[in-house]
Amino acid sequence: MMRVLGLETSCDETGVAVYDSELGLLAHRLYSQVDLHADYGGVVPELASRDHVRKLIPLIKEVLAAAHTQPQEIDAIAYTSGPGLAGALMVGAITGRSLAYAWGVPAMGVHHMEGHLLAPLLESEKPDFPFVALLVSGGHSQLLRVDGIGCYQLLGESIDDAAGEAFDKVAKMLHLDYPGGPQVAKLALQGNANAFAFPRPMLDRPGLDFSFSGLKTAVLTAYQQTPDYDNKKADIAASFEAAIVDTLVRKCERALKQTGLKRLVMAGGVSANLRLRTQLKDLAQRKRWQVFYPSPAFCTDNGAMIAYAGCQRLLVGQQENLAVTVKPRWPMTSLAPVNSLNNL
């Protein structure tokens, strides 16, 4: 048995959790910096780092109390060591490594996107390996074949803007509040998804890569050329969302056919999008495939996914040395496999 304290500080959310390898998730808390960055229309790295410093220790104390766990009952600490904002990552890494040293327990630096990838394994209905994974967030759009923890084959990725990044940029065009992605999705509920014929990028060619910069430009052009813009804003949002979702779903279908697999895992912030979930569920029902995704609370950045991912590696003896390092850029395919853990 292992009880792990997980820390997530890669960007603008401070996440803390306690995960027990036998009892499951004992407690988790998340503090969002949305209000802090709203006036700037995006994340200000220096402000993010300072806020993590202010919030992390109080959240750790709160989570330990909620988990009815004393520091001496913690067996290891997992923290996000990349990718992300360098300063924000350092806050979590230094705090995690310092507590591990003080408490005499091992520590593990976790890949942020591996945390997202494994988040569906926190649910009661878990996918078996192998499966195809769609990772969609503000910084990443990737399709991977997953044969086990650390056994990742990149099938396709965005060659420019990630899906979440495209959502945020379109939100700015439409003068919506930060964070933009959820605001676009909310506005889209009021619009006609067929009002604008936006392109479905790269579906007319083979392969599994994504490209959303052209779609973003098409939205900007529609915005500039629509005289009654205020009356069409919801239609633009709905048509844009439909184009993104159609593209992601058809690429997932292509990836499953290419690999011959029948299980799909979707994770990352954009995986909370209701239109995307609905269309993937419909696809899975038609094709007799299975689709898995985390509950909405674990779609965005959170400490639970870091505690869980770190626990799986710590259980087989992996840990960090005393040096504190972070990796703002870190290919997930470079991670070491956890061969002894196949189905969890």
Condensed to tens digits (0 to 9), the pLDDT of residues 67-83 reads 999 999 999 999 999 99
Give the whole-number percent of the chain exceeding pLDDT 90.
89
Report how far residue 97's alpha carbon sits from residue 78's, in angstroms, rounded to the nearest whole number.
Answer: 9
Q: Based on the domain organization, do 178 and 286 belong to the same domain?
A: yes
> Is position 315 annotated in a ligand binding site?
no
92 carries a ligand binding annotation: no
pLDDT band for position 161 (cuts 50, 70, 90): confident
Find out whether 181 is annotated in a ligand binding site.
yes
Is 135 annotated as a binding-site member?
yes
Report if residue 343 sits inside a domain: no
Q: Which amino acid is at 243?
A: A
pLDDT level of residue 190 (50, 70, 90 thresholds) = very high
Q: Give the Cα separation of 182 and 116 in Å (integer).
A: 18
The answer to whether the annotation marks 168 as part of a ligand binding site is: yes
- 116 labelled ligand-binding: yes
- Both 84 and 176 in one domain: the answer is no
Do 174 and 112 fall into the same domain?
no
Proportion of the chain above pLDDT 70, given as a percent: 98
140 plus 211 within the same structural domain: yes
CATH of the domain at 273: 3.30.420.40
Residues 51, 144, single domain; the answer is no
Phi, psi of 55 (to 5 degrees): -100, -25
Annotated binding-site residue? 273: yes
Q: Does residue 78 belong to any structural domain of this protein?
A: yes
Verify that 289 and 302 share a domain, yes or no.
no
For the CA atoms of 235, 195, 299, 30, the dihedral, rounded to the nearest 10 degrees, stands at -10
Instruction: Report whether 115 belongs to an annotated binding site.
Output: no
Q: How confident is the model at residue 228 (pLDDT cuts 50, 70, 90)?
A: confident
Does 309 lie in the same domain as 219? no
Task: Record the pTM.
Answer: 0.94
Q: Is residue 340 scored above 70 in pLDDT?
A: no
Domain count, the chain: 2
Determine the structural domain holding residue 86 and report its residue range: 3-118+298-334
DSSP of 28-68, one letter per residue? EEEEE-HHHHHTTTS--HHHHHHHHHHHHHHHHHHHHHHTT
Determine, yes or no, domain membership for 155.
Answer: yes
CB atoms within 10 A of CB 46: 10
Tokens standing for residue 255: 């990836």
Phi, psi values for residue 75, rounded to 5°: -90, -20
Q: Is 140 annotated as a binding residue?
A: no
Same domain assignment for residues 288 and 311: no
Are 87 and 197 in a shared domain? Answer: no
| 139 in a labelled binding site | yes
